[in-house]
């Protein structure tokens, strides 16, 4: 049960409940994360980072992740016949940390590269120009054969027209709002957020599931035990379908934490896979102190695959290994050995690759994230 807090979003949602009745959990999650004035991401108060952030993503570990991604981009550019422009969409770009490290690695595709940061939060998007030279939005898809890259563009939404290139979504889909479905006997219900008037608090109410929700639950969690709860990630699936529709030729790469099958979550308590974070610590009830914490849900790969069958599903440590992280670490060790006596920034960066690699490859942490890839030819 969530008791009222002196927060604008809390009262806003209470007013909506009084007007419209219990709300889908996805509506509450959407408001809590993306309201432009008071939402955790929408207002810019929530971010990733080691010092002041609320959670750590692979790009915030250091520049090594972006350098490996730069090598992957080069290989995909080669596979496509080295198109110019080569459009790379960084979906859910945050403040642009990944873009900075990719471009600093000077990939071979740079002369053809049109790097498009897509971030729906106006507050986070305003920070893209702090460390990146931004071109006008009209430059996002480039002029064929111009060779004027790298060109960096910041947008609030995915490009409106299709392109040849790559869409990368690193830890985006775990923050796409979900609905919650509950097994009740032989049927499925939907958990909605209503009010306990006596306590003046928001609480979960189970109502009969809609036909689409019931069909999805039967498809992804057949045989779920009575009382089991699962996320219905139809909005994440729609995002995958839309992203694939934008790609004429190229690849969609989703990197996130999750499970292969929704049934795996049906066997676990909801609090294990629906989590909140604030200042690197677990923050408790997702209905409490709305707008002040990250709300995140493990991604169900089978639900994403319903939008299109991926060509590859592997762990992050496998993906990074396939794209040369060991080569970059060995290079860093060589640089450190050659320049350790100088102690300059180049030497320190070389040495740091070892520690970064350990974090990125740790199978109990970031290395255990899943990398799901789709191709269009």
* pLDDT tens by residue, 187-206: 999 999 998 876 678 899 99
**Residue among 195, 201, 231, 277 at smallest CA distance from 26:** 231
The residue-averaged pLDDT of 219-227 equals: 96
Residue 339: how many other CB atoms lie within 10 Å? 17
The model's confidence at residue 141, banded by pLDDT at 50, 70 and 90, is confident
**Residue among 127, 138, 136 at smallest CA distance from 99:** 127
- Tokens representing 294 are 């990250």
Q: Which residues are 281's β-sheet partners?
A: 278
Q: Which CATH code fits 8-51+176-238+257-302?
A: 3.40.50.12710
**Over the chain, what is the mean pLDDT?**
91
In this predicted structure, the answer to whether residue 3 has a pLDDT above a threshold of 60 is no
8 A C-beta contact, residue 375 and residue 311: yes
Residues contacting 303, CB < 8 A, separation 6+: 216, 220, 232, 233, 234, 236, 237, 262
Residue 377: its H or E element: none
Percent of residues, the chain, with pLDDT higher than 70: 94
Domain ranges of the chain: 8-51+176-238+257-302
Residue 133 has φ and ψ, to the nearest 5°, of: -80, 110
Return d(Cα 73, Cα 81) in angstroms, integer: 12
Model confidence, pTM: 0.92
In this predicted structure, the answer to whether residue 4 has a pLDDT above a threshold of 50 is no
Percent of residues, the chain, with pLDDT higher than 90: 76
Of 54 and 321, the one with more pLDDT: 321
> 90-113: per-residue pLDDT in tens?
999 999 999 999 999 999 999 999
Q: What is the pLDDT of residue 1?
A: 45
Q: What is the pLDDT of residue 50?
A: 37
Question: What 3 state SS string does 124-148 have?
Answer: HHCCHHHCCCECCHHHCCCCCCCCC
Residues contacting 358, CB < 8 A, separation 6+: none
- Tokens representing 229 are 């709860």
3-class secondary structure, 249: strand
Q: What is the pLDDT of residue 54?
A: 45
In this predicted structure, the answer to whether residue 336 has a pLDDT above a threshold of 80 is no
The residue-averaged pLDDT of 256-260 equals: 97
Q: Which residues are 370's β-sheet partners?
A: 256, 315
Compute, in degrees rounded to 10, the torsion defined by CA atoms 162, 168, 172, 178. Answer: 50
> 268-297: per-residue pLDDT in tens?
999 999 999 987 688 888 998 889 999 999
The residue-averaged pLDDT of 133-137 equals: 93
8 A C-beta contact, residue 129 and residue 154: yes
Residue 348 has φ and ψ, to the nearest 5°, of: -65, -40
Q: What would the DSSP string read from start to end of 66-98?
A: HHHHHHHHHHHHHHTT--SSEEEEEET-TTSHH
């Amino acid at each position: 049960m969530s008791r009222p807090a002196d927060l604008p979003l809390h009262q806003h949602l209470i007013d909506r409940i009084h007007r419209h009745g219990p709300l889908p959990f996805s509506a509450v999650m959407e408001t809590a994360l993306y309201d432009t004035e008071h939402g955790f991401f929408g207002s810019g108060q929530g971010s990733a980072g080691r010092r002041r952030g609320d959670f750590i993503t692979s790009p915030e570990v250091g520049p090594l992740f972006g350098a490996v991604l730069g090598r992957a981009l080069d290989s995909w550019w080669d596979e496509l016949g080295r198109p110019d422009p080569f459009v790379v969409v960084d979906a859910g770009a945050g403040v642009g940390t990944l873009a900075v490290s990719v471009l600093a690695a000077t990939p071979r595709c740079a002369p053809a590269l049109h790097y498009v940061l897509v971030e729906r939060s106006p507050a986070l998007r305003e920070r893209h120009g702090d460390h990146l030279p931004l071109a006008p939005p009209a430059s996002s898809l480039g002029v064929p054969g111009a060779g004027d890259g790298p060109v960096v563009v910041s947008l609030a939404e995915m490009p409106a027209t299709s392109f040849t290139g790559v869409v990368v979504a690193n830890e985006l889909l775990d923050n796409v709002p979900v609905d919650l479905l509950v097994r009740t006997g032989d049927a499925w219900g939907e958990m909605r957020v209503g009010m306990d008037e006596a306590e003046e608090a928001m609480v979960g109410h189970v109502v009969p599931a809609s036909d689409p929700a019931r069909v999805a639950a039967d498809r992804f969690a057949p045989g779920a035990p009575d009382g089991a709860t699962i996320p219905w990630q139809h909005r994440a699936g729609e995002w995958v379908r839309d992203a694939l529709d934008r790609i004429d030729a190229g690849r969609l790469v989703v990197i996130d934490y999750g499970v292969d099958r929704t049934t795996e979550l049906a066997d676990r308590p909801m609090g294990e896979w629906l989590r909140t974070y604030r200042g690197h610590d677990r923050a408790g009830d997702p209905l409490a102190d709305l707008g002040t914490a990250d709300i995140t849900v493990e991604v169900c790969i089978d639900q994403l695959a319903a939008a299109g069958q991926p060509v590859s599903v592997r762990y992050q440590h496998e993906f990074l290994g396939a794209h040369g992280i060991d080569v970059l670490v060995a290079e860093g060790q060589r640089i450190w050995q050659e320049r350790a006596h100088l102690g300059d920034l180049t030497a320190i960066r070389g040495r740091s690759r070892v520690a970064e690699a350990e974090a990125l490859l740790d199978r109990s942490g970031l290395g255990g994230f899943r990398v799901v890839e789709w191709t269009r030819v």
